[in-house]
Amino acid sequence: MIVHDLDELGPDMLELLGKLLDPRIQLTSGPQLPEPAHFQVLVAGRPERSHLLASPDLRLLVIPWAGLPPETRSLMLEYPHIAVHNLHHNAALTAELAIALLLAAAKLIIPYDQALRQNDWSPRYAAPQALALSGKTALILGFGHIGQRIGGACHALGMRVLAVKRSASVLPTLDYPAEIHPPEALHDLLPLAQAVIVALPNTPHTEGLLGETELRLMPPGGLLVNIARGPVVEQEALYRALHDGHLHAAGLDVWYQYPASPEARPNTPPADFPFHELDNLVMSPHRAGLAVETETLRMQALGALLNAACRGERIPNPVDVTAGY
């Protein structure tokens, strides 16, 4: 089986992947396609049409992360004979940040830290504002690889776990109790949840899923964490719910505007509203899946997927291009 990865893999990663791969797999990497191109598998998150047409043997596209970029979805809808699969190597890392954001928001860690950096001990003697999580209810929107890990951590914190899953009739095997519901139950579930954690893909069906109505259905003083995609939560509705105190706090790793170029990185507002002025918001620059170990985990997941394809086994993490995830 011939595989081409559009990323230029460094020597260390090539060596690691080489040790993991079935010897029948031939691997090349880099933005320059091999000539002649006869690869059956292309590893790329945002391939161009020319990449898909270069090899007449192409049958599998591997997106080397979780999710399906909108431009990739639009392109792949034109090539239904090419299967699309994801890698979920960063599920644990993303779930860990979700819990970090949840705890930081509930405990107001950021404003307390900032006060003490100014030698200000006033928060210690003020009326308590931190929230307990034990005994509360967490509602996880999206119950795939990441959502299930978040659920396990919430259960370990003593929380009741509710989840919304598209195929709620297909129940995952869990080692903790969770109540799984279909998307149609969202409005009935929101009033029960003191914490809502968004782990959904951004698709035409999920964009704007949480707007003014949905956020106001949450109990006053609730928590919201988004480690999925920014547009799943309407930004104006979220800003107002935080600004007027309906939400106690939120933690966001995903946003509404991103730098258009390397030059814009030092000065690009992440939203149209001044979220940075809110002291009940924890802000993270979309790095949930990134850690020292990320690339090693990616190579391990890619190796396992390619080996399965080479050996005729079930290939993990299929993507429904029509649905968008």
Residues of the domain holding 252: 91-283
Indicate if 219 and 199 belong to the same structural domain: yes
What pTM, to 2 d.p., does this model score? 0.91
Asked if the structure places residue 43 within a domain, the reply is yes
Q: Kindly report the number of other CB atoms within 10 A of residue 176's CB atom.
A: 12
Q: Which pLDDT tens digit goes with each residue over 224-256? A: 999 999 999 999 999 999 999 999 999 999 999
Q: What is the 3-state secondary structure (H, E, C) of 230-265?
A: HHHECHHHHHHHHHCCCEEEEEECCCCCCCCCHHHH
What's the number of domains the chain is made of? 2
Kindly tell me if the per-residue pLDDT of 168 is higher than 80: no
Indicate if 64 and 101 belong to the same structural domain: no
Q: Which pLDDT tens digit goes with each residue over 27-86? A: 999 999 999 999 999 999 999 999 999 999 999 999 999 889 989 999 999 999 999 999
Q: Which pLDDT tens digit goes with each residue over 200-216? A: 988 888 999 999 999 99
Asked if the structure places residue 323 within a domain, the reply is no
Asked if the structure places residue 322 within a domain, the reply is no
Among 68, 66, 37, 67, residue whose Cα is nearest residue 51: 37
When pLDDT is cut at 50, 70 and 90, the band that residue 296 belongs to is very high
Backbone angles phi, psi at 316, to 5 degrees: -70, 160
Among 290, 323, 299, 286, residue whose Cα is nearest residue 43: 299
Encoding tokens for residue 43? 């590893």
Asked if the structure places residue 320 within a domain, the reply is no
Indicate if 127 and 217 belong to the same structural domain: yes
Indicate if 38 and 132 belong to the same structural domain: no
Kindly tell me if the per-residue pLDDT of 169 is higher than 80: no
When pLDDT is cut at 50, 70 and 90, the band that residue 103 belongs to is very high
Asked if the structure places residue 319 within a domain, the reply is no
Mean pLDDT, the chain, rounded, equals 96
Asked if the structure places residue 321 within a domain, the reply is no
